[in-house]
A and B are shown apart, each in its own frame.
Chain A
């Protein structure tokens, strides 16, 4: 079963995302902030990472930069949930592969569809 790691400081958000994603047939792992997520990444890489941008201790941006630095051979896609998707708020991801933004308010259905699509594409590529 493919694993999705959700990083958000808001318990209600984690709860509703977990419901939606688990229902789609994925295992869900959660972290309350960036540093907790990095710790979990040291043990195991998920198949997909969903992270909020504004979190205490380590923000989503800091988390992504740390992942890029610590795990340059990362092969799991990342979705960043953010309030703002204008260019100046995304320019720090110019050199990132396999990273997309999803603007709040987020539809769980669309997020799950995106996860499925990304993972299918990845599997397709892997098979090719």
Chain B
């Protein structure tokens, strides 16, 4: 609306300028017309006067009348003066309008200039006049000049022309509102279209403009709507493309997340190198291995997060090697920050699924082989122990048998001694081999507990008596504390007896002179507890964790001086665990040792129910 008001204002101003121009042109035209009239009259009158003999014009008598007649025949409004001058320019006679003083003027000398016109300014009021002059003759000789002057028309006439000017301006004035209305009518559809487009822009919708228009504007609207339809179709296609892209991007993100989740879930630390050898993925386990965040591994060069020369060398190889080279060898190393861990890397080239010959990077798996290394070490230790345990008795047997054949064998004393030593060593070997066999069978699962309902009291008593018998030569007190009435328990009779015998054997072996060995069985609501208590050398806190390890023997000289293989407790523990029970050590004991076997009745009950 403001716009059309401004257009209206411009139209009014333009029309006023047009009217002013018309008035100016009309005035100029009329002024020029008047000046032309004055010139025509002035020239013709002076020529007429020039034709009249000089004497007839001289004042006096009837001649005065000629001048007067002439004066009154001229245009009254413009007449300034009429003067006759002599050849010396001296005024002879003159008639002037009211208040006009005829100015003095030189007369022309040259005959060519005798007739002419000039512009003069009146000395009295400074008004400008046009003066016409012509020579006056008397019988062919120059007697003087006639000077006839008119006022130059002034603007005063404008007022007189006012009605005329008003008449001329009126149509222009009438045309202005008509013009304006027509214009308003023409631009209304444009304004509407403008508004519609604004609405569309605000509403962010995209549709045809329904504006009724004809002519050029109609053409424009048709083309504009055509363009809108084209743009709409294009936009729809783009939106569909975008939707497809979003969907495929979501799918890719999902797939990427899935792959990353899989890589994160892997028990191994994983690193992926791109084809340039730069790290493009590192899972959290890998980051933990190097004690940094995965972002650091991705964003910083390897020397910033890794100080292991083997890994740096490995990564450097992938950065310098061409696409065609792959390394699949395994590298084993220890990391500085986790020195007790044995890590092995294995590299796998990654091939593009579309082009199986194109390598798109490398997968490096960092496997924690600590357990394997420990197992290897344990196996090596086991073999070392075993060879020692086997060869030591063999050594004694070999030496004694050789000696029996030699000189010492001739002595009866030596033969008796040798027989005893050989029997002792054979016994030792037998115990070792039996223990090893039992343990191996339990470990392999080939020795299943052959369970039956057993009177534990009888089994315990038998083991107790055996231990007591074998320790006859020892200064040791034996106490058996078993309830008279006990529910039978569901166990492997033979294995449980081995377990109890082992504990009792230890209790005797590591006892002190005058010590006590006590076997206690207690039945509670949910368990049967077998306790073997001694008053011997006891077990230090440092050793508690290892006493159940195979072949472990305390470094204590009191232990070392006693024959043993370090298999008894390991075997006992395996037997108890085979029965889903627990074997533990009473940590609070100040003197001696107390081993506790807990056999859960629940398991018994379940088994019976089945």
A residues near B (Cβ < 8 Å) are 9-10, 12-13, 15-17, 19-20, 23, 54, 56-57, 81, 83-84, 104-109
Contacts and interface: CB of A to CB of B under 8 A. Distances in A.
A12 B400 contact: yes
Interface residues of B, number: 28
A123 B408 CA distance: 29
B240 interface: no
Ranked 10 nearest A-B pairs via Cβ? A56-B560, A105-B398, A83-B391, A104-B395, A104-B391, A105-B395, A16-B399, A83-B388, A83-B387, A12-B421
B392 A106 contact: no
A15 B400 CA distance: 10
B384 interface: yes
Contacts of A107: 398-399, 402
Interface in B535-586: 555, 557, 560-561
Contacts of B403: 16, 19-20, 108
B397 interface: yes
A54 B553 CA distance: 12
A120 B417 CA distance: 33
B387 A108 contact: no
B400 to A, nearest CB: 6
Nearest to B383: A84
Given A16-B399, A19-B408, A105 B394 contact: yes
Contacts of B391: 83, 104-105
B163 interface: no
Nearest to B411: A19
B414 to A, nearest CB: 7
Contacts of B418: 16
A123 B87 CA distance: 184
Which of A16, A20, A54 counts the most B-chain CB atoms under 10 A from its CB? A16
A124 B151 CA distance: 171
Nearest to A19: B408
B402 A57 contact: no
Contact of A16 (B387, B392, B400): B400
A80 to B, nearest CB: 13
Contacts of B394: 104-105
B399 A106 contact: yes
A15 to B, nearest CB: 7
B483 interface: no
A9 B560 contact: yes
Given A20-B406, A109-B406, A83 B392 contact: yes
Nearest to A109: B402
B317 to A, nearest CB: 31
A13 B422 CA distance: 11
Contacts of A16: 396, 399-400, 403, 408, 418
